[in-house]
Amino acid sequence: MKLSARDAWRLVRPYWVSQDRWRAYGLLATVIALDVFLNYIGVRQTLWQKNFFDALVERDLPAFWSQMAELSAIVAGIVVAGTGRVWFEQALEMRWRTWLTGHYLDQWTQESTYWRVGAFGAVDNPDQRIAEDLRLMASETLRLSVGALNYAVDFFTFATMLWGLSGAASFALAGTTVQVPGYMMWAAVVYALVGSVIMERVGRGLVPIDYQQQRREADFRYLLVRMRENALPIALWRGEAVESKRLATAFERIRGNWGEIMRYTKRITAFNALYVQSSMLLPYLITGPRYFSGAITIGTVMQLNSLFNRVRGSLSWFVYRYKDLALLRSVFQRLYEFDLALKRPRSNGLKRRKGGRDLVLSSVGLELPDGSSLGVVDRLQLHPGDRLLIQGRSGSGKSLLLRALAGLWPFASGEVTLPDGLTMFLPQQTYMPDATLMACLAYPSDPEGLDIADARAVLSDVGLGKLGDELECDETWHRRLSPGEQQRLGFARVLVHRPAVLFLDESTSALDPEGESRMYQLLEERLPRSIVISVGHRPMLQSWHPISVEWPALRQSQVTDQPV
């Protein structure tokens, strides 16, 4: 997918038309004003250079001290304005990055988009694109665009001076004398344009290589994080050698791609050095004959040389910033892909409605991404207090059915009507945020609304009473608690929220039979009017579910008029 300038502008534009735009424009105007002031100081410095060297040649001591005083003022202006410029630019960069991060996080976290993007492989490493690529987009776009503007101001400022000071060059062409006014300016323009064209040819392959480098770095970090998060099972399986090999392989990909970056960097650096050093020679070759003829002074020679290099430098933005531009283009490419993935229309899947007291499934069909059918529910209706157990062989799609009912599986059809009230899904692995135990218990609600005495009581009910005094402790609870304890905490969370409909997907697989019976007994006692649908394999689950069916052969005849 090739990125166009319009695509890049689509990523940049939203912030500059947002509610924060006026502060952004104010900071940007301040940065530009300081750049203009620094350019003015540059002009003064060029004039100072001529006057200073002329004073040296003429051995004029009062003029020398006058020029030294002016140089002190120039240095002070550069220090103050340069420091202020950096500060305001960094402030603008952080405001832009803050807005971008909030903007993309809002899209990523709404309506389970984060799950859809990750589950179906729309883009790789979305975390890196949010954390790293957005930072680079804000910092590099701002730095390069303001730099380009600064270079443009430089060009118009110093090109005017160079035009007037260099005079006209005369040469014979076909028996006619041709004069070229401002010839040194034109020499600088031609030199910079030729250099830019050559640089693009030298480094044009760097953009896709930078793209791959960012991807491989992110893949390597992902493997490191995955090993950290799964340290215990890896250690129990003695999988260190396998993991070490996988990490080494991932890093070898980084190293291999880095070799390509080195190859292009060598080319770009070599040409850049040749370009800059050659430009030091050219103005002397042009001004030398005029100096030896007595047409200009040594001060004018130095001033022309300085002006030539300022004009040539102001037109060399593309050459100087080529590596940065290549990196930024790869960043835009990754963010454009991410933006498309976030905005991709969701598949309709099931039509989900709310209303009434019953849970009703009508013509619910479930498929794999390749279109293979997993099963169909012609019609199923459950009333308050019903308990339904869905069993079937592993891999038959029982968990996918629950995901479809939650609106997370797009390859589904039909209609589901959920009763008024809260619907909860309790998966096999209970999610534990890195927060206090109270926050884990109240998740996803605010823990401030949960009374601490009630929290201790519900922990005691599910067999976690020993944690009652640690509700305010902030720990990585998903590491501290065993899988069984995490499942108990999941049931405690259910008792706190009291849903109207509860879907359980192997939610007691890590519990012993006694613990499993205790969890279902609590549901019977505390949530007698809730509709509970469980997916599981253990035969003893049937004792807690008056209605038991086999997936995918679910039919209304198996459910209607069953005793509860």
Task: Convert the pLDDT of each residue in 223-258 to its tens digit.
Answer: 998 888 788 778 878 888 888 998 999 999 999 999
Whether 215 and 125 have beta carbons less than 8 Å apart is answered as yes
Closest CA to 383 of 254, 256, 560, 141: 560
Residue 54's pLDDT band, with cuts at 50, 70 and 90, is confident
Task: List, in order, residues 6 or more apart from 333 with CB less than 8 Å away.
Answer: 1, 3, 207, 211
Identify which of 341-355, 417-431, 539-553 has the greatest average pLDDT: 417-431
Which pLDDT score is estimated for 171? 65
pLDDT at 220 over 70: yes
Token pair in block for residue 344: 């991709």
Token pair in block for residue 336: 């454009």
Residue 401's pLDDT band, with cuts at 50, 70 and 90, is confident
Q: Give CA torsion, residues 104, 109, 113, 116, to 10 deg.
A: 110
Q: pLDDT, tens digit, for every residue of 463-487?
A: 999 999 999 998 888 888 999 999 9
Residue 333 CA to chain centroid, in angstroms? 12
Compute how many other C-beta atoms are within 10 angstroms of the C-beta atom of residue 101. Answer: 15
Whether 409 and 400 have beta carbons less than 8 Å apart is answered as yes
pTM for the structure as a whole: 0.75
Preceding peptide of 552 cis, ω within 30°: yes
pLDDT at 96 over 50: yes
Which pLDDT score is estimated for 1? 60
Q: What angle do CA 67, 72, 77 make, to 5 degrees?
A: 125
- Sketch the domain layout of the chain as residue ranges: 5-343, 351-558
Which pLDDT score is estimated for 562? 43
Parallel/antiparallel/unpaired status of strands 412-418 and 351-354: parallel
Give the pLDDT mean for 310-323: 84
Scanning 293-314, the segments in alpha helix (DSSP H) are 298-314
Whether 505 and 535 have beta carbons less than 8 Å apart is answered as yes
pLDDT at 140 over 80: yes
Q: pLDDT, tens digit, for every residue of 23-40?
A: 999 999 999 999 888 888
pLDDT at 170 over 60: yes
268: left (phi over 0), alpha (psi -120 to 50) or beta: alpha
Residue 348's pLDDT band, with cuts at 50, 70 and 90, is low
Give the position of tokens 């405001």. Answer: 95
pLDDT at 559 over 60: no
Q: Which fold has domain 5-343?
A: ABC transporter transmembrane region fold (1.20.1560)
Q: Which residues pair with 457 in a beta bridge?
A: none
Residue 87's pLDDT band, with cuts at 50, 70 and 90, is very high
- Which SS3 state, helix, strand or coil, does residue 549 take? strand
Q: Which residues pair with 362 in a beta bridge?
A: 379, 415
Which pLDDT score is estimated for 347? 66
Expressed in angstroms, the distance from the first to the final Cα of the chain is 57
Parallel/antiparallel/unpaired status of strands 531-535 and 501-505: parallel
pLDDT at 560 over 50: no
Percent of the chain with pLDDT over 90: 34
Question: Cα–Cα distance between 540 and 509 in angstroms, integer?
Answer: 12
Across the chain, what does the average pLDDT equal?
86
Q: pLDDT, tens digit, for every residue of 260-291?
A: 999 998 988 898 888 888 888 888 887 777 77
Task: List, in order, residues 6 or more apart from 95 with CB less than 8 Å away.
Answer: 20, 23, 24, 27
Token pair in block for residue 96: 């832009």
**What letter does residue 446 receive in the DSSP assignment?**
-
Compute how many other C-beta atoms are within 10 angstroms of the C-beta atom of residue 102. Answer: 10
- Which SS3 state, helix, strand or coil, does residue 355 take? coil
Whether 222 and 344 have beta carbons less than 8 Å apart is answered as no
- Which SS3 state, helix, strand or coil, does residue 183 take? helix
Compute how many other C-beta atoms are within 10 angstroms of the C-beta atom of residue 133. Answer: 23
Which pLDDT score is estimated for 464? 94
Domain 351-558 in CATH 3.40.50.300? The answer is yes
Whether 99 and 15 have beta carbons less than 8 Å apart is answered as yes
Amino acid at site 486: Q
Quick one: angle between helices 240-292 and 183-203, nearest 10? 160
Task: List, in order, residues 6 or more apart from 399 with CB less than 8 Å away.
Answer: 505, 506, 535
Whether 522 and 375 have beta carbons less than 8 Å apart is answered as no
